[in-house]
Amino acid sequence: ELKVEQNPLFLSMQEGKNYTIYCNYSTTSDRLYWYRQDPGKSLESLFVLLSNGAVKQEGRLMASLDTKARLSTLHITAAVHDLSATYFCAVDLQIQGAQKLVFGQGTRLTINP
Amino acid sequence: EPEVTQTPSHQVTQMGQEVILRCVPISNHLYFYWYRQILGQKVEFLVSFYNNEISEKSEIFDDQFSVERPDGSNFTLKIRSTKLEDSAMYFCASSGTGINEQFFGPGTRLTVL
């Protein structure tokens, strides 16, 4: 059974600082997604990583994928309050053509002024 | 921009009652999914649906659950006899192909009393 583990689960940081969220998974997959969720809201797609070594950047967020290490990272640069949210990674587990996303537990990020 | 819609946004029901949650996927998408998220927890896969049949389902998706695409636009999740532990946010998602990014709807919050 595929396990997806994020750490840390809770992160409180100051504005202007840098930090990294880690997503480890237990079985082979070369597709990984990062989502953002604000309280009571749906999942907003941030990044789609489709191959080993993929790196994507959008504003202060950068995501990377190392399929050999079964590790993805979400790096936050010079954090601002608006980035406070819960961040989920999700690994695509394809079974006989049917796609199934297995989510990590989520990282609740709080950025303090 | 096309989006997935869900109704109702909040459903309150008594234990043992049947509920139907409705979703309208993005119009040219072919793959449909339901996920659930118990408050404060991670997002869990329930079922995937393609070509009018279930492709994959999780252990959570037992005989009390069913899905249907009754017409060309709606995709429904039915829970026959709700239990207290069914209380959660239910998200519908769709994708264009079996390997494409999934787009999530805003969710239906189900409260079982």
| Cα–Cα distance, B74 to A19 (Å, whole number) | 42
pLDDT in tens, B51-87: 899 999 999 999 999 999 988 789 999 999 999 999 9
**3-state DSSP call for residue A81?**
helix
Contact yes or no for B98 and A94 at CB 8 A: yes
Contact yes or no for B42 and A41 at CB 8 A: no
B29 and B50 in contact (C-beta within 8 Å)? Answer: no
Q: Which amino acid is present at B17?
A: Q
Q: Taking CA atoms, what residue in A is nearest to B42? A: A105
Contact yes or no for B101 and A100 at CB 8 A: no
Query: What is chain A's pLDDT, residue by residue, as a tens digit (113 residues)?
Result: 789 999 999 999 999 999 999 999 998 887 899 999 998 889 999 999 988 888 999 999 999 999 999 999 999 999 999 999 999 999 988 766 677 899 999 999 999 98
E strand or H helix at B110: strand B108-112
Q: Which amino acid is present at B100?
A: N
pLDDT in tens, A10-39: 999 999 999 999 999 998 887 899 999 998
In sequence order, the β-bridge partners of residue A14 are: A112
Q: Establish if A54 touches chain B: CB-CB under 8 angstroms.
A: no
Among candidates B45, B98, B101 on the partner chain, residue whose Cβ is nearest the Cβ of A97: B98
Question: Tokens 């339901």 belong to which residue?
Answer: B34
Q: What is the reported pLDDT for A52? A: 83
B25 and B4 in contact (C-beta within 8 Å)? Answer: yes
Question: Tokens 């809201």 belong to which residue?
Answer: A41
| Cα–Cα distance, B111 to B22 (Å, whole number) | 16
Cβ-Cβ contacts under 8 Å, B95 against chain A: 99
Q: How many CB pairs under 8 A join A and B?
A: 59
